[in-house]
Amino acid sequence: MKKITVLGAGRVGSAIAIDLAKKFDVLSIDINESNFELLNSQNVTTKKGDATDVSFLKTVVSESDIVISAVPGFLGYQTLKNLIELQKDIVDISFFAEDPFTLNELAIKNKVTAVIDAGVAPGMGNLILGHHYANMQVEDYECLVGGLPIERTWPYEYKAVFSPIDVIEEYIRPARYVQNNQLVVREALSDTELVEFEGIGTLESWNSDGLRTLIKTMNGVPNMIEKTLRYPGTVEYLKVLRESGYFSYDYVEVNGQKIRPIDLTAKLLFPLWQLKEGEEDFTVMRIIIKGTENGQKVEYRYVLFDKYDRETKTISMARTTGYTCTAVANLVLEGKFNEKGIIPPELVTQNNDNLDAIIKYQKERGVIYKITKS
Residue 134 domain-assigned? yes
Q: Which amino acid is at 255?
A: N
Give the C-alpha separation, 32 to 165, whole Å: 18
CA 262 to mean position of chain CA atoms:
22
Task: Give tens-digit pLDDT for 190-225.
Answer: 999 999 998 899 999 999 999 999 999 999 999 999
Backbone angles phi, psi at 190, to 5 degrees: -95, 170
Domain identity same for 166 and 294: yes
CATH of the domain at 191: 3.30.360.10
pLDDT value of position 217? 97
Domain identity same for 142 and 247: yes
Asked if 106 and 87 touch (Cβ cutoff 8 Å), the reply is: no
End position of a domain, from candidates 273, 307, 341: 307
pLDDT value of position 159? 87
End position of a domain, from candidates 268, 290, 307: 307
End position of a domain, from candidates 290, 307, 324: 307
Residue 373 domain-assigned? no
Q: Which of 15-19, 110-114, 203-207, 274-278 is least confident?
A: 274-278
CATH of the domain at 23: 3.40.50.720
Backbone angles phi, psi at 185, to 5 degrees: -120, 120
Q: Provide the whole-model pTM.
A: 0.95
Give the C-alpha separation, 316 to 368, whole Å: 12
Beta strands 113-115 and 341-343 are: parallel
Q: Which domain holds residue 150?
A: 124-307
Beta-carbon contacts of residue 63 (< 8 Å; ≥ 6 apart): 3
pLDDT value of position 365? 97
Give the chain's domain count. Answer: 2
State the average pLDDT for the chain.
95
Q: How many residues comprise the chain?
A: 374
Element (H, E) at 352: helix 352-363
The secondary structure of residue 274, as a DSSP letter, is B
| Helix/strand number for the chain, H first, E second | 11, 18
Domain identity same for 275 and 130: yes
pLDDT value of position 40? 82
Residue 351 confidence (pLDDT) above 90: no
Domain identity same for 292 and 156: yes
Beta strands 201-207 and 223-230 are: antiparallel
The secondary structure of residue 307, as a DSSP letter, is E
Beta bridge partners of 197: 201
Domain identity same for 133 and 269: yes
Domain identity same for 103 and 234: no
Beta-carbon contacts of residue 271 (< 8 Å; ≥ 6 apart): none
Residue 180 domain-assigned? yes
Domain identity same for 106 and 140: no
Residue 153 domain-assigned? yes
Task: Give tens-digit pLDDT for 136-193.
Answer: 999 999 999 999 999 998 888 898 777 778 889 889 999 999 999 999 999 999 999 9
Domain identity same for 303 and 164: yes
Domain identity same for 12 and 129: no
99, 1, 67, 80: which is closest to 328 by C-alpha? 67
